[in-house]
Amino acid sequence: MAILEVTIPQMGEGLQEARLLRFLKEPGDAIARDEPIFEMETDKATMEIEAPVAGVLVEWLVAPDAVVPIGAVVGRIEANVPAQEQPVSPRRQPAPPADAEPAAPDSKRATRNALVPPRTRAYARECGMAEADLMALADKLGTRVMPSDVDRFLSNRVLMAPGPTPAEANGETVALSSAQRTLVYRMQQRYAEAIPATEEVVVPWEPIDRLRSDLKARARQGGDPPPTPFLILAWCVVRAVARAPVFRCTYAGDGMLRRYDHLHLGLAVTRGDDELITARVASADALGFWEFARAAVGAVKRARCGEDQASGVMQLTLSNLVGLDILRAIPVVVPPAVGTLFVGAVHLVPQLTDDGVAFVRAANVSLTFDHRVVNGVGAARFLAGIRAEVAALTCDRLVPSE
């Protein structure tokens, strides 16, 4: 058996480093050729990296969340091939020859970007450094820009600025939590790509209350406990996507869409005081009602235990602030997701009846969508589809055999 090094591959020009998000295989696991074994993130994309050979994973040499250079060895596989047939591991792109012609003017920005590693770009943004200043610093140095270079630049700028008053100088600098740094990294990497727009609809809550009451009655006879009202609404969202398949897509760049067979649904989960982490229900639209409910409950439990399930294939995310009486919000959509839904607190709203005005329980549901993929009419029809799915909720229709 041959031992093959697993390396960070070169996935595009100008990329110098990547962030290793998570391992998909553990030491001792059998691996098939072309099977995804880890997930990494660069300035340009999040992607799963496949095994170059079949074999057994021997070890990982770095920890998740590490930022490593392109070509770095991150693990080893005991390959099921003789040593002479061992494939060549991905390496860095070769440097241009010394006598190569200078870069053309239109490649200047790409050259500067190559001098700024992902961790330096993220650090500069956290420090409030403008992109133009970062590019100017890269031009000035002519070498790879490190976080220490950013510190020196900002220190020099502070020295030239008026000093703070004694009252302004009080305070301390503390680090964000690991989960928050991961969230900031993802948003900074991709948020600016989207063209966001937001629409809102009022969803009557009486059908969800009625279904919960019916499911509770069945639970007393030995059935499963009913899902939360939020998960029942999430199920209605999944059903509505069947009539709005654009919400199973992601924007692939250059005017292209990537269409997926199934919807991979994200659920925003809060931990601690204000830590946001993502649960994920894979192929949610391929599941029955109880299958979906059980999968969602399990994913949320794992998220509350600290397992971040965010993935590069998660087209739609749902969020809510249960118990905090927030009626409406404008959610953030971060590519490759095409939309984010926020479910507001259930409250009483007036409704016209034959006898006058009655107050009914309802919730505001806000959708922020990527306008590159979905237009206003498509988003409105999707929201109307969610309302229709809620209105059609009945215990016998959803779980006739339970």
Q: Is the pLDDT of residue 300 over 60?
A: yes
CATH assignment of 195-398? Answer: 3.30.559.10
User: What is the rounded CA–CA span in Å between residue 382 and residue 365?
Assistant: 11
Which tokens is 183 given? 């969230």
pLDDT tens sequence across 170-218 = 677 777 777 777 777 777 766 678 899 999 999 999 999 999 999 998 8
Q: Is the pLDDT of residue 361 over 50?
A: yes
User: What is the rounded CA–CA span in Å between residue 302 and residue 312?
Assistant: 19
Element of type H or E holding 351: strand 347-353
Q: In the chain, what's the furthest Cα-to-Cα distance?
A: 88
The DSSP 8-state label assigned to residue 41 in this structure reads E
pLDDT of residue 139: 84
The DSSP 8-state label assigned to residue 261 in this structure reads S
Do residues 325 and 345 make contact, with C-beta atoms less than 8 angstroms apart? Answer: yes
pLDDT of residue 104: 46
User: What is the rounded CA–CA span in Å between residue 371 and residue 194?
Assistant: 7
pLDDT of residue 105: 44
Mean pLDDT to the nearest integer, 293-297:
95
How much is the mean pLDDT over the chain?
83
Q: How confident is the model at residue 164 (pLDDT cuts 50, 70, 90)?
A: low
Q: What are the backbone angles phi and psi of residue 30, rounded to the nearest 5°?
A: -75, 140
Return the percentage of the chain with pLDDT > 70, whole number: 84
pLDDT of residue 321: 85
CATH assignment of 2-85? Answer: 2.40.50.100
Apex 379 CA angle, 376 and 385, nearest 5 = 140
Q: Where does 161-288 have alpha helices with state H?
A: 166-169, 178-190, 206-220, 229-241
DSSP letter for each residue of 98-115:
TTPPPPPGGGHHHHHHHT
Bridging pattern class, strands 265-271 and 256-259: unpaired
Q: Is the pLDDT of residue 167 over 80?
A: no
pLDDT of residue 348: 94
pLDDT higher at 66 or 85: 66
